[in-house]
Amino acid sequence: QVQLVESGGGVVQPGRSLRLSCAASGFTFSTYGIHWVRQAPGKGLEWVAFISHDGSNKHYADSVKGRFTISRDNSKNTLDLQMNSLRAEDTAVYYCAKDHPGISGWFDYWGQGTLVTVSS
């Protein structure tokens, strides 16, 4: 069955960096676009970033553009999110989510999430 498992969350000071990872299994990873979506405490869902199946196409929310970088390794079935210059408003649970078959932009499977807390 499809599994997405995030890791790498934790407590980090403002201005510092953190790298999240997402390990995928149960589907042909190299044929699907993958997204990062986050949820701040007490808030709704916010799309963060997207990478196409082969890594050639990437998109970012304005709130993270220039600070976050999405990447993938299809040989290892892993997705990463490098987060630099972290701010208090980046505090959230971060989910990786897989594109629906044939339709980029719908999230048909999600991981359980990893919590990032930006605080001094």
Partner 1 sequence: EIVLTQSPPTLSLSPGERATLSCRASQSVSNYLAWYQHKPGQAPRLLIYDASYRATGIPARFSGSGSGTDFTLTISSLEPEDFAVYYCQQRSNWPPLTFGGGTKVEIK
CA dist., res. 87 & res. 107, Å (int):
26
Of the two residues 53 and 100, which places its CB atom closer to partner 1 in the complex?
Answer: 100
CA dist., res. 77 & res. 101, Å (int):
17
Of the two residues 17 and 110, which places its CB atom closer to partner 1 in the complex?
Answer: 110
With CA atoms as reference, report the closest residue to 84 among 108, 112, 60, 54: 60
CB of 34 to partner 1, least distance (A): 13
Of the two residues 68 and 109, which places its CB atom closer to partner 1 in the complex?
Answer: 109
CB of 120 to partner 1, least distance (A): 27
Rg (CA), the chain: 13
CB of 118 to partner 1, least distance (A): 21
Residues 6+ apart with CB under 8 A from 64: 48, 49, 83, 90
Of the two residues 102 and 120, which places its CB atom closer to partner 1 in the complex?
Answer: 102
CB of 14 to partner 1, least distance (A): 24
Residues that bind partner 1 (CB under 8 A): 35, 37, 44-47, 50, 59-62, 95, 97, 100, 103-113
- Give the side-chain half-sphere CA count within 13 A for 27: 22
